[in-house]
Amino acid sequence: MDDIMVIARSTASRVLRMKAVYFLLAIGVCLIASGQLYGDITAGQQRAYTLDLGFLLVTIVGVLCALVACFDLPRERREKTMVALLSRPLGRDRYLLGKFIGVCEIALVCMAIMAAALVVISAQMGSGWSGLEIIKGAIILFAGVVQLASIGVLLGTFLKEWLATVVALIIFWLVYAIGALACTAKGITHTLLLLLPNFTIMSAGGLVVRRVELEWIMVLHALMLAVAYSLAMLVVAGFIFRRKDIA
Amino acid sequence: MANLDNIINTAGLTKIYHRLLGFGSNLAVDDLNLAVPEGCTFGFLGPNGAGKTTTIKMLLGLINPTRGSGDVLGRELGNLEAKEQIGFLPEEPAFGRHLKAREFLNLCAGLSHIPRSQRRRRIDLALDVVGLSDRAGGRLGEFSKGMLQRVGIAQAMLHNPKLLILDEPLTGLDPAGRMEIKRIMLELTRRGKTIFFSSHILSDVEELCDNVGILNRGRLILSGPLEKLLDAGGVEIIVEDMPSALLEKIEPFVTGMVKQGRRWVLQLGDENAEKQVKKLLTEGGCHNIRDRRGTVKLEELFMQTIEQNDIAVGKGVENG
């Protein structure tokens, strides 16, 4: 387990050394805080607007973190860092798992910062939304990001940086409405769509805004789905990666 | 297949790179049968593109062979338990420019399953051996090629492996850097490590290795103990004050004769000729007779072997 955590820590620490991450978080927090200035253009709904914007920004930050998985693996292959790492007694599956955990760690930290800012600003505005509901919503969003990170790891095992990122974004965009697509599609298309992750859980923020109470069981289901889906993706990624030459 | 006297064995190891969508292929390593004895310093030679790095990566399990098999430390290629005992220096040491030398070595120690309690001591020791103790806090991105190479050797020896595989450790270094790396390699040899390294710098290989293998066009064309390979087979006899009457008698046995003042240097093709000539000289009253074994330089051997192989391959192609 130690070697997996070494890879995870190394992945997370490399990303957290990037100034862009802090810039992104600062911008995000400022945007949430600025929500209360939009009283006129939101027809007095600035509290709901701020919350909605906040969840959107938490999602965007999470998705950007998940995309690290898309370009980190191909980058390490291109820069040949992977050669030095995999020449050690480190299984390829464990390397992939370490990368995945590292990306999830970054997403967790960044999303937690954004969610905490949302809770504080929301409480300051006296919006009436409970901080716990906001946290539940953020956890469900995190579950969606975990699934996207696993797709990023899978794509990163065989695609170049830019291609993996573009494909991951297309998948994210496509499957955001997967519930509707899967219902209308038939036959093989229907089966294929079911293989893609279900990101309808990422509209949890909308439910919170509409004051729908999120049950803990729903949060648990979202997390279990994320773990199961990610494991399946990592198994496929490991199968592909073991056959790949690290030249 | 495993010969326990050898630390590395391969049998028919072959790698073919297939281009995208099956348009053509490139034979990088062809039917490689390699045997590296334990405890030796093995120089793996070959021109650019001969397949040295591909072979090394197959030994480490980084590249999957198309055919053939092999074992390192008695275990199949890429085996994780075998890798616990292997230290590897890649051709291009790319170690994460943002990391400090100590951070990088700590990461490597974690991946090599070195217990936390021992890590600091092992890292200090490795940095000391490569002479980088005073630069432990420096960022790798600010290091010169020579310093990176030394960090590379430090990470390779960090877990005290039995076998060190070094891919072009002396390439791209200035004379001082080369001297330093050679010093480290000799020190590792003295500590009983088996070193398998590829290089283009033949004078260094001659200086450091006791066994070599020459690879050309993916095929191992020569391999064995360096001393044996450099033995040209010829013998020279040096004799002083040789009576001219003996010249005619010994002429049939010699391949060349040179007079240097009072001395004659007689070149002989084989041991039989050597025996006959020595007998004739002794019977002829010569007393001051010395012999000298003929050797070739590794550079000559390398060039001859490669040229002969290229000609043979060329003829093979012509013949169909």
With a CB cutoff of 8 Å and minimum separation 6, the contacts of B243 are B284, B285, B286
Which of A17, A80, A87 minimises the CB distance to B60? A87
What's the confidence (pLDDT) of residue A111?
Answer: 94
What's the confidence (pLDDT) of residue B194?
Answer: 93
CB contact under 8 A, B80 and A17: no
ipTM: 0.81
What's the confidence (pLDDT) of residue A200?
Answer: 66
The string of pLDDT tens digits covering residues B135-181 is 989 999 899 888 888 899 899 989 989 999 999 988 877 788 788 88
With a CB cutoff of 8 Å and minimum separation 6, the contacts of B23 are none
Q: Which residues of chain B lie closer than 8 angstroms to A81, CB-CB?
A: 94-96
Least confident of A82-86, B127-131, B294-298: B294-298
CATH 3.30.70.250 in chain B, residues? 229-295
A25 by Cβ neighbours in 10 Å (0-12 / 13-18 / 19+) ranks as middle
Give yes or no for A89 touching B (CB within 8 A). yes
CB contact under 8 A, A89 and B83: yes
Amino acid identity for residue B154 in this structure = A
Work out the average pLDDT over B210-225.
89
Give the closest-approach CA distance of A8 to chain B in angstroms: 11
What's the confidence (pLDDT) of residue B166?
Answer: 93
Which of B63, B88, B92 minimises the CB distance to A245? B63
- B interface mutation test: which of A9, A79, A81, A87 has the most B CBs within 10 A? A87
CB contact under 8 A, B108 and A88: yes
What's the confidence (pLDDT) of residue A199?
Answer: 65
Q: Supply the CATH classification number for the domain B6-225.
A: 3.40.50.300
Please name the residues between 192 and 221 in chain A that touch chain B, using a CB distance below 8 Å.
Answer: none
CB contact under 8 A, A87 and B83: yes
Question: By a Cβ cutoff of 8 Å, what residues of chain B touch chain A?
Answer: 54, 57, 60, 62-64, 80-81, 83-84, 86, 88, 90, 92-96, 98, 107-108, 110-113, 155
What's the confidence (pLDDT) of residue B253?
Answer: 84
Measured CA distances, B26 to B5, B15, B19, B109 (Å)? 33, 8, 8, 37
Asked whether the predicted pLDDT for residue B2 surpasses 60, the reply is no
Phi-psi region of B82 (alpha: psi -120 to 50; beta: other; left: phi over 0): alpha
Q: Which residues of chain B lie closer than 8 angstroms to A243, CB-CB?
A: 64
Please name the residues between 113 and 172 in chain A that touch chain B, using a CB distance below 8 Å.
Answer: none
Give me chain B's average pLDDT, please: 85
Read off the pTM: 0.83
DSSP A4-37: HHHHHHHHHHHHHT-HHHHHHHHHHHHHHHGGGG
Least confident of A89-93, A97-101, B296-300, B316-320: B316-320
Q: Which residues of chain A lie closer than 8 angstroms to B113, CB-CB?
A: 2-3, 89
What's the confidence (pLDDT) of residue B300?
Answer: 77
pLDDT tens across the length of chain A (247 residues): 788 999 999 999 888 888 888 998 999 889 888 877 776 666 667 778 888 888 889 989 999 999 988 889 999 999 888 998 999 999 999 999 999 999 999 999 999 999 999 999 888 877 677 888 889 889 998 998 999 999 999 999 999 989 999 998 888 777 776 655 666 666 766 666 666 666 666 677 777 777 777 788 888 988 998 899 999 999 999 999 999 998 8
The string of pLDDT tens digits covering residues B61-88 is 999 999 999 999 999 999 999 999 999 9
What's the confidence (pLDDT) of residue A194?
Answer: 64
| Better-scored residue on pLDDT, A56 or B314 | A56
Which residue matches tokens 């002479």?
A: B131
State the Cα–Cα distance between residues A215 and A137, nearest whole angstrom: 10
The string of pLDDT tens digits covering residues B7-55 is 999 999 999 988 776 677 889 999 999 999 998 999 999 888 889 999 9
Give the closest-approach CA distance of B141 to chain A in angstroms: 13
What's the confidence (pLDDT) of residue A175?
Answer: 72
Homologous superfamily, domain B229-295:
Malonyl-CoA ACP transacylase, ACP-binding (3.30.70.250)
Q: Which residues of chain B lie closer than 8 angstroms to A2, CB-CB?
A: 110, 113
B245 by Cβ neighbours in 10 Å (0-12 / 13-18 / 19+) ranks as exposed
Residue A1 DSSP one-character state: -
**Residue extents of the structural domains in chain A:** 2-242
State the Cα–Cα distance between residues B31 and B10, nearest whole angstrom: 9
Measured CA distances, B56 to A85, A152, B40 (Å)? 15, 30, 17
State the Cα–Cα distance between residues A218 and A189, nearest whole angstrom: 28
CATH 3.40.50.300 in chain B, residues? 6-225
Angle at CA of residue B272, ends B267 and B278, nearest 5°: 65
Work out the average pLDDT over B118-129.
91
High-pLDDT (> 90) share of chain B, %: 35
Work out the average pLDDT over B86-109.
88
